[in-house]
Structure 1
Amino acid sequence: MAEVETSETILFFPSRLHEDHPRRETLRLSHLDADRNLEVPVRTVRFYAGRKDYNAAQQFDDITGALSVALSCYYPLAGALKRGRPDDRLAVHCQAGQGVPVVRASSRRTQAYFSDLLSSAVDSLAPGPEISEMLEHPLTLQVTFFTCGGYSLGMCVHHCLCDGAGATLFLSAVAEIARGASEMSTRPVWARDKLLGPRQLPRVEVDFSPFLRTKGRISDPYGGGTFAREYFHVSDEGLERLRAQMQGAPESPTFTSFEAVVAFIWRSRVRASEVVPDTKVKLVFSMDVRRLLRPCLPTGYWGNGCVPVYAQTTAGELSGRPQMETAELIRRSKRGVTAEYVQSFIDFQELHYADGITVGENSCGFTDWRHLDHSSVDFGTGGPTSVLPLSFKLLGCLDLCFLLPYPSVGGVKKGGFRALVSISADALPAFREEMKSLAET
């Protein structure tokens, strides 16, 4: 018997038509949303402890009832994605009668059984529609109940509609209503093509050519490849030891945990993969620019608010030079992200979208989920004990690493954090050896 059994899929509609929601309209996406590398599903699962005085039926009704209310303002999530002319970009087509599918499921297992697995079992806790199906329903949810009384919320959303912060903002609104609020405290903001659109005369002041390729229409910028996935513990002691080693002289800069760990993992992956020394290798990570722009993006803006940031060197230089220099390379890349960088990236998308834009080979991707406001997604039984990403096609890379907080057990969080790494199976044994020093206490 399957680990997870689905009982039904129900379509939930906005509880009322919001005043901003005409009977029929087409909403344009921003040029950050329309990045071809974001034409992928983002699948996540959030685990909850549940409450003894709440049965499964009550919890399901609370979540789905709140979903219907929230969709009155977040109605584009119930829309359909269609390509427009002449550039073939996606847009959201909204009309009355559209809804969001919610799968109801159960498992004979306890929540603890799934919380650290990387298998088809945990993968079955979130919907997995084909990308073609997601054009009709860009958001699908799944609520799964466990024998221990806990439950999980699986989510599959088309990346062009939101990033991790945007998805959290939406789910926080649903959770706020589920806890009894009459309306959400933060009103969602669209206006995407106006807030993050190209200049009237697009111009690219930042040179992206070392990092991005434009060569003909590319239906799948990710290509093929088979990768293994594994969790790696990063202890507080291991992190501080690494940062101290990178600091060098007393007057040297102190690197952030992100700069230090990413520099270490990037080098370790390239070493373990035995990349030829003179091969160019790239690092790409996402950086939130919501507060960088002037004016800042509105608090309720829930579209993609991150830009990709790049660093490049050769495999030989990365493996042979002090890690402090790699951390400094990452720091310089971060500091190079200005308002002009963001606008140039948007204009680059405007000028080259039809060409097909990819990151290319030998690229490692990193995304940091440690500081997303996961605790705000509380449906009345407490915030999630754990949040896991299930997708590995992000940032134009398959060779991806998530930095994740540890699950909360009884309100107490374990020290350190986890790195969830996707890497070729052949390189995994050597990479494990490289990572041991970060786990030591």
Structure 2
Amino acid sequence: MEPQQLRLRILDTVCLSPPPAPAQHAALPLSGLDADRNALDVTFRTLRFFPPPPPSIDPHAVLPPAFEAALGLFPALAGRLRDGHVVVGAGTVPIVLAESGLSAADVDTDCPGSPLLDRLAPPEDGAAGTPALALQATRFACGGVALGMRVAHALCDGVGATKFLAAAALFARGQGPPEVAPVWERRELLGPRHPPRVATQVFDRVLALDGGVARCGPYGAEGEWREQQRQLTRECFHVSDARVEALRARIADEAGVKLTTFEVVAAFIWRARVKANGTSSGEVVKMVYSMNISKLVDPPLPDGYWGNVCVPVYVALAACDLVAQPLAATAALIRKSKQDVDDEYVRSYVDFQELHRHDGITAGTVSAFTDWRRLGHGEVDFGWGGPDSVLPLSWRILGSTEPCFLLPYGAGDERRRGGFKVFIALQRTAVAGFREEMQELLLQPQQQSSAGKL
């Protein structure tokens, strides 16, 4: 694609304010999970593609007032992060309205490294005073719409962001506000105990303290992680439900326990990555995944809670053991790690963060996994159908710059009946070996690599 075809025409930038504006500034404290440095200094960017609306609906006219109404329920998203708080009362949220001469079909949403995709969302910007939320709505020549979002990860994860988008979608359809009101109460529900105490040894086994991390954060200085990015490529794989199910049934018998799709796929991909990287046999390798704890804590979080609701869960093995042992054993370890997560695990994790926040908490190099297949994407319907595609544009999560996302196909994608997508960051030198390992799980006919496409 020629460079001039990447140009977008910016029609307008609308500044949205929560109605009504607060009478005075308020500093709202973050929870212990919000203030985790894996999320605190990170902005997360996502992209959703929607089908063309009917001629009677102009998305550029519908979306700004819908988002402004939703901000009345989520005013912190118009705030600014400062010293472990979000300052509410003076900020606005920009929404860029743009158009492109391309058709949505010209955009390859199965190519996670595409520079065109990157242009369809607000740029990453971690400067002080940056709005906690920014939006971009791009209308294509075919009528399809791309909605890009950049949000401070300290305010919400994928679950909370979807609640905000779903509320805006209700207003767009004339059905808002949502039945369940948003709940803040972050320090009360997920703050540290007094005094903080760590009642589990699991964090001592997988986490360490590092002065460099204390100074620059878990992802390193900006120059460092951008240099890391140059060593990586982002790939998409199309995974077959039938093949995963056959593997799951086989290894569940070997493990003697029921296994979920996530446990099986995470074990398979973790092993495949370590093999493809040629990791030294004696090196301890770690995987980490995010686990929703909304109903595991005591008391359970209220349905309207929209802050970060996931804790990281770790599994560590010597590389030689991961490669040599049956896949069933690795999947069973992941399952066991999930079973160990309870209210005390969550409270101890929050307290560990509180005790060592300035000491540079790190897990070292980790393979990170996050599952987006059931985040309620279909609820984000602005009046002309849910998204055809949902994908991440940011790749710093859970202390890792090499994550793996499990993603659903859109409701209108016929591949939805047969499987799901895996977006993964890989060392460039490992791509060929990883692709060979993945053949066992792929949809047929074999999907080609997306490398080099736009």
Tell me if TM exceeds 0.5.
yes
List alignment gaps of at least 5 residues for structure 1.
84-89
Q: Which residue of 2 aligns with 1:368?
A: 371
Q: Return the letter of the residue paired with 1:212.
A: L
Cα distance in 1, alignment partners of residues 160 and 194 from structure 2: 27
Cα-to-partner distance string for 1:60-100 (whole Å, 9 max, x where unaligned): 221110111111121110011112xxxxxx2111124x210
How far the C-alpha of 1:218 sits from its partner, in A, is 3.1
Trace 1:159-174 onto structure 2 (pairs within 5 A).
159-174=153-168
Cα distance in 2, alignment partners of residues 199 and 308 from structure 1: 19
Cα distance in 2, alignment partners of residues 319 and 108 from structure 1: 49
Cα distance in 2, alignment partners of residues 94 and 182 from structure 1: 23
Trace 1:337-416 onto structure 2 (pairs within 5 A).
337-361=341-365, 363-409=366-412, 413-416=416-419
How far the C-alpha of 1:4 sits from its partner, in A, is 4.2
Cα distance in 1, alignment partners of residues 37 and 155 from structure 2: 13
Q: Contact 1:37–1:358 at 8 Å: present in 2 too? A: no
CA RMSD of aligned residues (A): 1.6
> Against the structure 1 CA distance between its residues 2 and 13, is the aligned structure 2 distance closer, same or farther, given a 3 Å change threshold?
farther
Cα distance in 1, alignment partners of residues 168 and 349 from structure 2: 33
Q: Which residue of 1 aligns with 2:287?
A: 283
How far the C-alpha of 1:433 sits from its partner, in A, is 0.3
How many pairs were matched up? Answer: 426
**Aligned-partner SS, 1:67:** helix
Q: Which residue of 2 aligns with 1:86?
A: none
Which deviates more from structure 2 when the two are superposed, residues 236-245 or residues 200-209?
236-245
How far the C-alpha of 1:410 sits from its partner, in A, is 6.7
> Against the structure 1 CA distance between its residues 381 and 325, is the aligned structure 2 distance closer, same or farther, given a 3 Å change threshold?
same
How far the C-alpha of 1:311 sits from its partner, in A, is 0.3
Q: Return the letter of the residue paired with 2:272.
A: S
Match status 1:132 vs 2:134: no
Q: Contact 1:15–1:68 at 8 Å: present in 2 too? A: yes
> Against the structure 1 CA distance between its residues 440 and 52, is the aligned structure 2 distance closer, same or farther, given a 3 Å change threshold?
closer
Match status 1:28 vs 2:26: no
Match status 1:293 vs 2:297: yes
Q: Contact 1:173–1:186 at 8 Å: present in 2 too? A: no
Which deviates more from structure 2 when the two are superposed, residues 238-247 or residues 337-346?
238-247
Q: Return the letter of the residue paired with 1:71.
A: L
How far the C-alpha of 1:440 sits from its partner, in A, is 4.9
Q: Which residue of 2 aligns with 1:113?
A: 106
Cα distance in 2, alignment partners of residues 440 and 241 from structure 1: 13
In the superposition, the TM-score normalised over structure 1's length comes to 0.93
- As a proportion of its length, which structure holds more helix? 2
Aligned mate of 1:176, from 161, 170, 177: 170
Match status 1:438 vs 2:441: yes
Aligned mate of 1:233, from 230, 234, 238: 238
Cα distance in 1, alignment partners of residues 382 and 414 from structure 2: 16
Cα distance in 1, alignment partners of residues 323 and 139 from structure 2: 47
Q: Return the letter of the residue paired with 1:108.
A: G
Match status 1:48 vs 2:13: no
> Against the structure 1 CA distance between its residues 302 and 411, is the aligned structure 2 distance closer, same or farther, given a 3 Å change threshold?
farther
Q: Contact 1:231–1:420 at 8 Å: present in 2 too? A: yes
Q: Return the letter of the residue paired with 1:95.
A: G
Q: Which residue of 2 aligns with 1:69?
A: 69
Q: Contact 1:46–1:387 at 8 Å: present in 2 too? A: yes
How far the C-alpha of 1:252 sits from its partner, in A, is 1.6
Q: Return the letter of the residue paired with 2:215.
A: I
Q: Which residue of 1 aligns with 2:252?
A: 247
Cα distance in 1, alignment partners of residues 184 and 65 from structure 2: 23
Match status 1:222 vs 2:219: yes
Q: Return the letter of the residue paired with 1:433.
A: E
> Against the structure 1 CA distance between its residues 9 and 149, is the aligned structure 2 distance closer, same or farther, given a 3 Å change threshold?
same
Q: Contact 1:100–1:137 at 8 Å: present in 2 too? A: yes
Q: Return the letter of the residue paired with 1:64.
A: P
Q: Which residue of 1 aligns with 2:118?
A: 123
**Aligned-partner SS, 1:10:** strand
Q: Which residue of 1 aligns with 2:452?
A: none
Cα distance in 2, alignment partners of residues 140 and 327 from structure 1: 39
Q: Contact 1:48–1:384 at 8 Å: present in 2 too? A: yes
Cα-to-partner distance string for 1:162-218 (whole Å, 9 max, x where unaligned): 000000001100100110025232211101011100111110011202211212223
Q: Which residue of 1 aligns with 2:81?
A: 81
Cα distance in 2, alignment partners of residues 125 and 327 from structure 1: 37
Q: Which residue of 2 aligns with 1:306?
A: 310
How far the C-alpha of 1:113 sits from its partner, in A, is 2.2
Q: Return the letter of the residue paired with 1:232.
A: F
Cα-to-partner distance string for 1:283-314 (whole Å, 9 max, x where unaligned): 10000000111211011100000000000001
Cα-to-partner distance string for 1:207-252 (whole Å, 9 max, x where unaligned): 2022112122232311331311111111022101211331235x82
Q: Contact 2:14–2:64 at 8 Å: present in 1 too? A: no
Aligned mate of 1:95, from 86, 89, 94: 89
Cα distance in 1, alignment partners of residues 413 and 210 from structure 2: 52
Cα distance in 2, alignment partners of residues 365 and 73 from structure 1: 32
Q: Which runs of 4+ in 1 moved over 6 A?
A: none
How far the C-alpha of 1:10 sits from its partner, in A, is 2.0
Q: Which residue of 2 aligns with 1:87?
A: none
How far the C-alpha of 1:50 sits from its partner, in A, is 2.1
Aligned mate of 1:157, from 151, 164, 170: 151
Q: Which residue of 1 aligns with 2:266?
A: 262
Cα distance in 2, alignment partners of residues 329 and 178 from structure 1: 45
Q: Return the letter of the residue paired with 1:221.
A: P
**Aligned-partner SS, 1:395:** coil
